[in-house]
Structure 1
């Protein structure tokens, strides 16, 4: 190999390593996709590359516990954050950055609910078809939905007619494609969708408070910069615009 090429190869190799060293991996609940996309934009201005990995909180938490290269984790509930913190994950305690609310949505804009505790209303609207929800034992949006339906006194019957999905985006997609008459998602999902229409808000006293804790998993300065941006004033305003409720501890 010509000698002149060796320094050049070393230079390019070093440059690539420097870039990859700046990449911050944010593992986030699907309902946080837009928030992470905003982080990606802001970080670019600081010369930091951010990559988002999205899915259900349960799936992501398990991946992280098994060694996935996450620098930041944003969960859609405290249960899966507790799961990681109890294993000693995290550079510092997690911080709650946002809240959310459940709503019933439909692909039919004329569907309306007067009483959520009336099983006959649900049966009429579903008309023998299924209600799309998150998987009710592991996926946060499904866990919250189950709590709400139990407190409404309709879960025992409706549980036999659900279409459990892996995350809230999958529930929303089922509704948008009109593969199901209705689904239960976060209000932030409903706000961003043009095909899913709001049927009814579900009172927040029917389920545990929906919180999004964020955990810093790396001590790298680039990861810390991105993490701090999550609870900045600018991000709090953006969360409001999306329909989230900004939170501090």
Structure 2
């Protein structure tokens, strides 16, 4: 007659080891540049599997995210695609002192619609305007979003900006610029190499010379208003061996 009681006691005993896991599980909110969408999602999954903690990811252009943080948005971590927008957030006192670090590097490429587009040579003799004809060059916002800023700088360095500026179609973030080319709404675009790698309907037809723009690095930092008890833990995980393997799989490099 003690069978049901014993079963209940056995079940309670079996559940005891699980209690600390649920009691200590936490959440961290990360604002990150759009170009990190696929890779950071995988990194977050790996961290959740290892720790039981949950990651809330919000992706947009670095400029938009920086402004949201400055206006009090509840981000625990900020990962920018440029130093300038991280500097802007630091300048308004919205970063936690001592947490900023550079975690990733990238390169800038010219893409074309389709998988078999012919490669070109990107130098001062390249007639990009002629190749476009009456069509558009898809870019992120050239005065606000890092990919667009890098792209404008590279084209200016090569002496090509003035001729193509009237033909540029600007988007709020680099993934939107990528999508225009993938859908053939623009024949050419400028994005990061890692963006092109995750889209089946575009080809990289050239890589911009490294000296044609500022180094593309991704700084990360905890925000001043962070509330998550595991923000530092996740920030550290971004540079762990496990995370680095994922980043490399998506084509990212690392700062020197």
User: TM-score normalized by structure 2?
Assistant: 0.85
Deviations 1:72-105 (A, max 9, x none): 0000000000011111122234100001100000
1:34 aligned onto 2:38: yes
8 Å contact kept, 1:26–1:36: no
Deviations 1:185-233 (A, max 9, x none): 0000111111011111111110000010001122643112111111112
8 Å contact kept, 1:27–1:52: yes
1:79 aligned onto 2:84: yes
Tell me which of 33, 51, 55 is aligned to 2:56.
Answer: 51
Tell me which of 108, 125, 134 is aligned to 2:140.
Answer: 134
Deviations 1:155-209 (A, max 9, x none): 0111111001111100110000000010000000111111011111111110000
Q: Counterpart in 1 of 2:164? A: 158
Residue 117 of structure 1 deviates from its aligned partner by 2.1
Q: Counterpart in 1 of 2:219? A: 213
8 Å contact kept, 1:26–1:50: yes
The 5 A counterparts of 1:109-120 are 109-119=116-126
Q: Secondary structure at the match of 2:230?
A: helix
The separation in 1 between residues aligned to 2:123 and 2:196, in whole angstroms, is: 18
Aligned-residue CA RMSD in angstroms?
2.0
1:197 aligned onto 2:203: yes
The separation in 1 between residues aligned to 2:152 and 2:211, in whole angstroms, is: 13
Structure 1 unmatched runs, 5+: 1-14
The separation in 2 between residues aligned to 1:35 and 1:242, in whole angstroms, is: 6
Q: Counterpart in 1 of 2:149? A: 143
Structure 1 runs of 4+ with >3 Å offset: 18-21
Structure 2 unmatched runs, 5+: 1-18
Count of matched residue pairs: 231
8 Å contact kept, 2:103–2:220: yes
Q: Counterpart in 2 of 1:70? A: 75
The separation in 2 between residues aligned to 1:111 and 1:19, in whole angstroms, is: 56
Structure ID, larger Rg: 2
Q: Counterpart in 2 of 1:246? A: 254
Q: Secondary structure at the match of 1:246?
A: coil
8 Å contact kept, 2:181–2:189: yes
